[in-house]
Structure 1
Amino acid sequence: MALLSPQLQRFLSAKLTRDSASRSPPRAAAAAAAARPRSRCCSAIAIDGPSSLAEASGVRWGYASVQGPREEMEDGVVVRPDGLDGFSFAAVFDGHGGFSSAKFLRDELFKECVMYLQGGLVLSKQDTNSIQEALRGAFANADAKLVNWLETTEEEDESGSTATAIFLGSDKVFIAHVGDSRVVLSRSGKTEVLTNPHRPYGNSKVSLNEIRRIREAGGWVSNGRICGDISVSRAFGDIRYKTKKKEMLQKGVEEGRWSEKFISRIQFNGDLVIASPDIYQVVLGSDAEFIVLASDGLWDYMNSSDAIEFVRNQLRQHGDVQLASEALAEAALDRRSQDNITIVIADLGYTRL
């Protein structure tokens, strides 16, 4: 990825500082901020993100994004507290093969969602079938645009990205999920995992369905990876598993990964990697405390219950959701996370003391 320019990073950092100062945080939060060592987290890689304590409809948002030990930062994040009529929008993008696809989605997916959801009107009507149709249409159109862009700009065919988006209303949250990021809800301190990862390994129902779909499309799974290569079965981009499957096979021959005889038996019947989202609808209520949306750079090193307990303790100690987001990213680094880490927390204001 090409990181944000130093000038833009300074601008966003200054904006966060000004916006945070305008709210007069609780005394405990201010003390914690003063005592806290300089963070390894970068919270500026976002589009239209909130200030560190910005509020919309009683919801406070925090987010953090850190490169970790990876050579490149391939994650992206968008937070739009007032993005849709009566609903807030947040999304995490976990790129691979470079930052191109994650950046494209960071810039474009929200626009597609606004168009297909008619500015939020479809969400407000709360007709499940209409919402599912709109979100699937938005994701499909975003993927088609990305695939076309990757082909016409001759970007690397390994470029792709997951995308998990939440649409947060006053009493419900809708989730559109592609890939292996995760959304977790704290309900009176109890952990509710709201999404399932799209990975072609394991014995879960979701994984077995993904493996079957890949095989029916003419592909194969080796060592938990599609064609022995990619470990996520749903993603945007990844044209080598969509429009350039034959080129992918020939490249494998040239690299000695398989033989001409092997590929002569392959007959593709569809895309091996797809961007069709799983869509979830969750009723919140007064026992819903906060939501954590994060890339697998967190979840591969911290389980859901530990993350919920960590954030809950943070919010009970100082009430600053931005500090909690950064501290959670720090905790993942302390657990030797080897991936980029991106975290969004929506504090619903009901965390029990």
Structure 2
Amino acid sequence: MALLRPQLQKFLSTKLQTCTSSGFKPTKKYTCPKKARTRCCSAIAIDAPSSVTGLSGVRWGSTTRQGPREEMEDDVVVRSDGLGGFSFAAVFDGHGGLSSVKFLRDELYKECVAALQGGLLLSGKDLKTITEALQEAFAKADMKLLNRLEISEEEDESGSTATVMFLGNDMLFIAHVGDSCVVLSRSGKPEVLSNPHRPYGSNKASLQEIKRVRDAGGWINNGRICGDIAVARAFGDMRFKTKKNEMLNKGVVEGRWSEKFASRVEFKADLVIASPDIFQEALGSDAEFALLASDGLWDYMRSSDAVTFVRNQLRQHGDVQLACEALAQAVLDQGSQDNVSIIIADLGRTDWQNLPLQQQNFVYELGQAFATLGIVSVGIWMSAQLSL
């Protein structure tokens, strides 16, 4: 629900207190533990610090925040070198350990620079050629990572998603693997530019991933591949690539499935892949900023709310780094159960100082208030009926 004005918040608060005293207790909203909210990993921005104006007036902000998780397995990278007139920005969302993320933050960039011929292919804007180059770069990076994990002295089943932006003067290219997402703000309206690769859901992207996993000989259990991982595309994750049979036999030993079931399984391809979706987006005069973030943001905040939040932040102080940090803290305060990683690229085309703060529609807010009160009233009535 959008944030209400102070008058309406006070009005609702008074009503809810009255309802609570009458015996009805609203559901408690989760709040991150104070300790978890204060844990923060500073984002690493190479050659593109957020306070410095870069390519064509672009200003960068980046941050990673640890949510109520045991480990911080996210990372972000922003680089403005090696790709001609384009900048490289990436969010990595790791799982099963940090080693895959640590390897990818440098190696994926190197492979992309080589495959894109130092940015020459990006300048040519031939999407077919760029797609082939980036698919090759991602495949090479994944192969190198798998080899590294294979020779590791300790058993390492880590993996990582990766969503990369290649930002130029008038064009944005995206290479996407996993469940992070890029949203472009156009005159305050969000334009979602990537779809999460997840083995559950009814959207087109999810249905394609579910079919691909099953065609490869895998299965989906409770929204997870082989009952294990909830993302269908990622780097690393040997047990779903080079060690699928070992994973299958290990499941028998651990009692996760029967030997009879395992004997019927025939793997035909990798269950988790690192093949990226490639997108191209023209940047017109209405493009304000690009927002790339991990699912720790998008699973708990709508794209429209995130865009509005960032716009109001930039109107207030114009500092993209502060806006980035405030957005991360806001979603953690709203109850995000995941780590949060965010990169914002202010394209430098908007005069934020002279743009009035966006106001919520009062009639809409009032409707929300009465809708909330209606839900509370129904709850009170149901509680009264059940107590009869």
TM-score range (shorter-chain normalised) is 0.7 to 0.9
Aligned to 1:267: 266
CA distance in 2, matches of 1:187, 1:47: 25
**Corresponding residue of 2:51:** 53
Displacement of 1:313 after TM fit?
Answer: 0.5
User: Which whole-Å deviations, capped at 9, do the CAs of 1:256-279 have from their partners, x for residues lacking one?
Assistant: 110111000000000000000000
What does 1:99-138 correspond to in 2, within 5 Å? Answer: 99-138=98-137
User: For residues 338 and 236 of structure 1, do their structure 2 counterparts lie closer, same or farther at Cα, with a shift above 3 Å needed?
Assistant: same
Amino acid at match of 2:44: A
CA distance in 2 between partners of 1:41 and 1:85 (Å): 36
Structure 1 residue 293 displacement after superposition: 0.3
Match of 2:190 in 1: 191
Aligned-pair CA distance for 1:47? 5.5
Deviation (angstroms), 1:300: 1.1
Unaligned runs of 5+ in 1: 1-38
CA distance in 2, matches of 1:141, 1:344: 25
Q: Tell me if the contact between 1:41 and 1:329 (Cα under 8 Å) persists in the aligned partners.
A: no
Query: In the TM superposition, what is the alpha-carbon distance from 1:122 to its structure 2 partner?
Result: 0.8
Which consecutive residues of structure 2, in runs of 5 or more, have no partner in the other structure? 1-36, 356-388
The one-letter code sitting in structure 2 at the alignment partner of 1:228 is G
Identical positions, percent: 71
Give the corresponding residue for 1:317: 316
Q: Is the 1:97–1:156 Cα contact (8 Å) retained in structure 2?
A: no
1:168-183 matches, cutoff 5 A: 168-183=167-182
Q: Which whole-Å deviations, capped at 9, do the CAs of 1:221-272 have from their partners, x for residues lacking one? A: 1111100110000000000000000110111111111011100000000000
Query: Could you say which residue in structure 1 is the equivalent of 2:42?
Result: 44
- Structure 2 residue 187 is the aligned partner of structure 1 residue 220: no
Q: Deviations over 1:1-30 (max 9, x none)?
A: xxxxxxxxxxxxxxxxxxxxxxxxxxxxxx
Query: Residue 47 of structure 1 contacts residue 107 of structure 1 at CA under 8 Å; is this kept in 2?
Result: no
Tell me if structure 1 keeps the 8 A contact 2:237–2:272: yes
What pairs up with 1:295-310 in 2 under 5 angstroms?
Answer: 295-310=294-309
Find the aligned partners of 1:250 and 1:49 in 2 and give their Cα distance.
47
Contact 1:55 1:81 in 2 (8 A): no
Structure 1 segments, 4+ long, off by >4 Å, are: none
Aligned length: 315
TM-score by length of 2: 0.79
| Larger Rg over CA atoms | 2
The alignment partner of 2:264 has SS state of: coil
Query: Aligned residue for 2:328?
Result: 329
CA contact (8 A) 2:43 2:62 kept: no
Looking at structure 2, the residues matched to 133 and 314 of structure 1 have their Cα atoms a distance apart, in angstroms, of: 38
- Asked if 1:144 is matched to 2:147, the reply is no
Instruction: Note if contact 2:48-2:54 (Cα within 8 Å) is conserved in structure 1.
Output: no
151-160 vs 75-84, which moves further: 151-160
Q: Deviations over 1:64-94 (max 9, x none)?
A: 1111221111001110134410001100000
Rounded to whole Å, the distance in 2 between the matches of 1:47 and 1:347 is 15
CA distance, structure 2, for counterparts of residue 76 and residue 317 of structure 1: 28
Match of 2:371 in 1: none
Alpha-carbon contact 2:181-2:292 (below 8 Å) kept: yes
- Secondary structure, aligned partner of 1:84: coil
